[in-house]
């Protein structure tokens, strides 16, 4: 018998089917904030639901001994996206929305597959992307804090004041809605280990983080902003058409959203600048 | 070194590149390897005029010389150097004949 749980991130529901009730219970615990119906329209065409069938296997599917930390490969062949890492094999049809994942019975593999699918769907729509950044809502606006590992994403999330609502400390979900951009909460947690809230708000600013002796905000010129944003976008596919769409989306984002470089001391006072 | 008095040169945009004008600069990305280039104002003008059929010298005399404080020969030499540099990355193509 097949069981189902639907995980909705960024307004895009993915129905996950599996014969193991135990595995889905584990997913329900992990994605608890993201199991509700979305109130915001999906970037996918109406009526095309996304579905992943999970086949659990005892050991990693690759037969060459690679593990979960090995390089991810994403390719498009004969109408399907193929995703392969040491701990999973997945195949997804972007037209029907259906896919199959063969993986060991832990959540990290399906977590990665969902990140890839969301990144592909957003790139194809030309209206958003996943960004390596912490994000939080304050005063009804979302603020994003981007940077490579060690730049301070988790630190600034940890320092957030009580009136800020955490969307993520690791991967932000950026979507264009009407004439502006919104940031959605994601369950994709970093060192904080806490999933974000399933809410969204218009993006007030994107800050590129660096730690320093004092707090300082500097405007980033558009060319540098595009380069810095692209550097932190999650994108896995070696596909020229999608890369072109992603580039256009990032340029549009940079033209519409204020971008700054935020040098900060890792103390709570930095949030006095985020208003 | 390029001969500024040599045969006519024609420039066209490379394939597999995406370009957007942003804040007065042309942002160009090679979609093959995601390499990103940003062109200054004069380079952006040359990129936008690179239609493969207008000689580079004519582009310079029409689009650069009247709008920037530079003499025609210097402007042409700089434009050719820029075109050769971008051609090395596949961003532009240089030909001795106009595109068919």
State the complex-level ipTM. Answer: 0.72
Distance from CA of A235 to the nearest CA of B (A): 11
Closest Cβ opposite residue B34 in set A221, A222, A243: A243
Best of A129, A235, A249, A251 to substitute, by most chain B Cβ atoms within 10 angstroms, is A251
Please tell me whether residues A41 and A57 are part of one structural domain.
yes
Q: What is the number of structural domains in chain A?
A: 2
Q: Which structural domain, as residue segments, surrounds residue A161?
A: 128-273
Taking CA atoms, what residue in A is nearest to B40?
A: A223
Nearest of A122, A146, A137, A136 to residue A229 by alpha carbon: A146
Alpha-carbon span A198 to A179, nearest angstrom: 22
Quote the pLDDT of residue A67: 52
Alpha-carbon span A122 to A134, nearest angstrom: 19
Closest Cβ opposite residue A227 in set B16, B23, B36: B36
List residues of chain B with CB under 8 Å from any CB of chain A: 16, 18, 20, 22-23, 25, 27, 29, 31-32, 34, 36, 38
Answer left, alpha or beta for residue B23, where phi above 0 means left and psi between -120 and 50 means alpha.
left
Quote the pLDDT of residue B32: 78
Please tell me whether residues A142 and A90 are part of one structural domain.
no
Q: Given an 8 Å threshold on Cβ–Cβ distance, is A226 in contact with B16?
A: no
Closest Cβ opposite residue A223 in set B18, B27, B32: B27
Q: Which residues of chain A have pLDDT under 50?
A: 63, 65-66
Please tell me whether residues A82 and A214 are part of one structural domain.
no
Size of interface A-B (CB pairs under 8 A): 42
The DSSP secondary structure of A167-231, one letter per residue, reads: EESSEEEEEEETTEEEEE--S---TT-----S-EEEEEEEEEEEE-SS-EEEE--HHHHHHHHHH
| Torsion on CA atoms A172, A178, A180, A184, rounded to nearest 10 | -20
Lowest mean pLDDT among A243-257, B15-29, B63-77: B15-29
C-alpha dist (Å) from residue A100 to A114, A149, B73, B80: 12, 31, 63, 53
Q: Given an 8 Å threshold on Cβ–Cβ distance, is B20 in contact with A251?
A: yes
Please tell me whether residues A90 and A196 are part of one structural domain.
no
Quote the pLDDT of residue B3: 45
What Rg value do the Cα atoms of chain A yield, rounded?
19
Quote the pLDDT of residue A48: 60
| Residue at which a domain ends, from A77, A92, A125 | A125
Please tell me whether residues A151 and A58 are part of one structural domain.
no
Q: How many CB atoms lie within 10 A of CB B88?
A: 9
**DSSP-derived secondary structure letter, A33:** G
- Identify the three-state secondary structure at position B24: coil
Tell whether A159 lies on the interface with B, counting CB pairs under 8 A.
no
Please tell me whether residues A154 and A41 are part of one structural domain.
no
For A180-236, what is each residue's pLDDT tens digit?
999 999 999 888 888 999 999 999 999 999 999 999 999 999 989 999 999 999 998
Taking CA atoms, what residue in A is nearest to B32?
A: A240
What are A192's two structure tokens?
């904080």
Ordered by where they begin, the domains of chain B are 10-90 (3.90.930)
């Amino acid at each position: 018998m097949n069981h189902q749980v639907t995980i909705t991130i960024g307004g895009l529901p993915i129905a996950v089917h599996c014969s193991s009730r135990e595995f889905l219970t584990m997913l329900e615990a992990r994605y608890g904030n993201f199991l509700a119906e979305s109130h915001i329209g999906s970037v996918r065409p109406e009526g095309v639901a996304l579905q992943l069938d999970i086949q659990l296997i005892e050991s990693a599917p690759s037969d060459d001994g690679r593990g979960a930390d090995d390089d991810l490969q994403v390719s498009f062949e004969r109408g399907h996206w193929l995703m392969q890492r040491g701990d999973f094999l997945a195949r997804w049809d972007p037209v029907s929305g259906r896919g199959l994942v063969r993986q060991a019975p832990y959540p990290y593999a399906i977590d990665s597959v969902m990140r890839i699918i969301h990144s592909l769907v957003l790139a194809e729509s030309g209206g958003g992307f996943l960004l390596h950044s912490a994000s939080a809502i304050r005063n009804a606006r979302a603020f994003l804090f981007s940077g490579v590992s060690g730049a301070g994403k988790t630190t600034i999330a940890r320092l957030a004041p009580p009136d800020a609502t955490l969307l993520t400390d690791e991967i932000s979900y950026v979507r264009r809605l009407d004439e502006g951009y919104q940031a959605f909460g994601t369950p994709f947690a970093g060192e904080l280990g806490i999933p974000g809230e399933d809410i969204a708000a218009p993006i007030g600013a994107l800050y590129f983080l660096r730690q320093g002796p004092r707090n300082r905000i500097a405007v980033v010129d558009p060319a540098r902003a595009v380069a810095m944003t692209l550097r932190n976008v999650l994108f896995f596919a070696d596909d020229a058409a999608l890369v072109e769409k992603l580039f256009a989306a990032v340029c549009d984002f940079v033209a519409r959203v204020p971008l700054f470089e935020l040098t900060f001391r890792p103390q709570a006072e930095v949030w006095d600048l985020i208003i | 070194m390029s001969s500024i008095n040599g045969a006519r040169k024609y420039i066209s945009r490379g394939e597999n590149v995406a370009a957007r004008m942003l804040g007065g600069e042309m942002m160009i990305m090679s979609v093959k390897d995601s390499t990103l280039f940003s062109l200054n104002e004069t380079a952006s003008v040359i990129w936008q005029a690179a239609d493969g059929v207008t000689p580079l010298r004519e582009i310079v005399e029409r689009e650069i010389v009247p709008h920037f404080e530079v003499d025609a020969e210097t402007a042409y030499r700089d434009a050719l150097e820029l075109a050769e540099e971008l051609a090395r990355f596949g961003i532009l193509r240089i030909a001795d004949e106009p595109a068919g």
